[in-house]
């Protein structure tokens, strides 16, 4: 037997440490993907996802067998047709990824942007919404630690009567997400973020309105694997579509149960308190908020400007020798910020205490 290795301290914006219940569930003996036992477990996942996303009772929920990006792709593949006008809010890497995907599925993309580190201005969405069939926005932009004002954007989209797709990868399960109340039509996340399950499944939720749009398509869905009809065949009709990753369903089911047992509000409060404590501990070392407007700060991914003179690469490499992984900036923010994940099991005091002890040794 291999000697057990020390637990890595993962403070990255995902993947997050696996929840103990999910880790145990992952090791369950295999059963068939068409086993009635798995269909019963899938039905529980679907019900729990309705709670996670705050959907209407008739919304369709499921897992797609891939990471968060497949959740993103499934939305554009099913809800966009060639020539559709799609407005994408792009104030970071993941917004830009949405725009690229929408274009690949034939959309004519209109971009609404914001300066790096700032949130999307809903008035800009209102100014460009005429004639679009869908608006897409990232709730928590991981690349810059910005929280976009989804409820305000949703209100504008609702008045315009068009579909709203929201990337909930860094928010659902750890921050309030109210699909029905806000009027979101398609949402997705990745199992490895706020839920602390292993990477490999993307929980999706589709509103009744989006399903009606899907049913009115003029052309087949170009992505066979995630065609809503095919997903429905498996998740609702219990007929074969493709072999789902059974053990990842076990793990996601356990992680989701644990999240709902803790309570979504309690989880948001856990993030709030820990975020406050982490920033208060790091400020004396010279770290400061990268996102200026307090209401635009994403609680689950703290973007912190590095102290003057701190060498990003050297310090992060030194932290790795203590078993601690911290993520730097992306593109223009590389060497300028760190992005600390406060999602799922990463949002616990113990790993952050380990970071503080290591930093005090390295910088003190
Ligand atoms: N959207 C956001 C906001 C993300 O943070 C990520 C990943 O970090 C993705 C989409 C893509 O998810 P994945 O890497 O699981 O494909």
339 assigned ligand-binding residue:
yes
- pLDDT of 7 reads 83
340 Cβ contact partners less than 8 Å away, ≥ 6 residues apart: 11, 13, 278, 301, 302, 304, 326, 327
Q: Given this model, what pLDDT does residue 2 score?
A: 54
| 257-300: pLDDT as tens digits | 999 999 999 999 999 999 999 999 999 999 999 999 999 999 99
pLDDT > 60? residue 61: yes
3-state secondary structure of 209: helix
pLDDT tens for each residue of 114-150: 999 999 999 999 999 999 999 999 999 999 999 999 9
Q: Can you tell me the ipTM of this complex? A: 0.99
List, chain by chain if needed, residues with CB within 6 Å of any ligand 1 atom: 14, 67-69, 72, 94, 138, 140, 142, 167, 169-170, 190
Ligand 1 atom 2, closest CA: 169
Whose CA is closest to atom 5 on ligand 1? 142
pTM of the model: 0.97
Average the pLDDT over 104-116 and give the result.
97
**For 337-354, what is each residue's pLDDT tens digit?**
999 999 999 999 999 999
Residue nearest to atom 12 of ligand 1 (CA): 68
Ligand 1 atom closest to the Cα of residue 190 is 15
pLDDT in tens, 3-14: 566 789 999 999
Q: Ligand 1 atom closest to Cα of 138? A: 3
pLDDT at position 3 is 55
CA of 234 to the centre of ligand 1 (A): 25
How far, CA to CA in Å, does 318 sit from each of 7, 121, 226, 277, 360? 17, 39, 42, 23, 12
């Amino acid at each position: 037997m291999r000697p057990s290795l020390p637990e890595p301290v993962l403070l990255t914006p995902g993947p997050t440490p696996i929840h103990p219940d999910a880790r145990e569930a992952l090791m369950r003996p295999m059963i068939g993907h068409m086993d009635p036992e798995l269909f019963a477990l899938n039905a529980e996942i679907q019900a729990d996802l309705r709670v996670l996303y705050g959907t209407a009772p008739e919304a369709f929920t499921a897992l797609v067998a891939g990471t968060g990006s497949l959740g993103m792709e499934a939305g554009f593949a099913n809800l966009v047709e060639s020539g559709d006008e799609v407005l994408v809010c792009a104030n970071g890497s993941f917004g830009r990824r949405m725009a690229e995907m929408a274009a690949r599925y034939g959309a004519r993309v209109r971009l609404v942007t914001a300066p790096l580190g700032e949130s999307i201005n809903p008035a800009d969405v209102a100014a460009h919404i005429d004639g679009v069939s869908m608006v897409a926005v990232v709730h928590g932009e991981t690349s810059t630690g910005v929280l976009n004002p989804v409820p305000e954007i949703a209100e504008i989209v609702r008045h315009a009567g068009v579909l709203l797709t929201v990337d909930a990868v860094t928010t659902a399960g750890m921050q309030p997400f109210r699909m029905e109340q806000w009027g979101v039509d398609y949402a997705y996340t990745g199992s490895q973020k706020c839920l602390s399950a292993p990477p490999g499944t993307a929980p999706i939720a589709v509103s009744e309105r989006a399903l009606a749009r899907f049913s009115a398509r003029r052309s087949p869905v170009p992505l066979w694997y995630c065609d809503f009809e095919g997903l429905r065949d498996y998740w609702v009709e219990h007929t074969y579509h493709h072999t789902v990753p059974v053990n990842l369903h076990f793990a996601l089911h356990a992680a989701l149960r644990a999240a709902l047992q803790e309570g979504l509000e309690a989880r948001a409060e856990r993030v709030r308190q820990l975020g406050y404590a982490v920033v208060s501990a790091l400020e004396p070392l010279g770290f400061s908020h990268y996102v200026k407007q307090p209401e635009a700060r994403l609680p689950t991914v703290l973007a912190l400007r590095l102290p003057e003179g701190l060498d990003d690469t050297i310090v992060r490499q030194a932290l790795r020798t203590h078993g601690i992984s911290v993520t730097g900036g992306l593109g223009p923010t590389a060497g300028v910020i760190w992005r600390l994940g406060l999602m799922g099991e990463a949002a616990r005091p113990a790993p952050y205490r380990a970071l503080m002890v290591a930093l005090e040794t390295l910088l003190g």
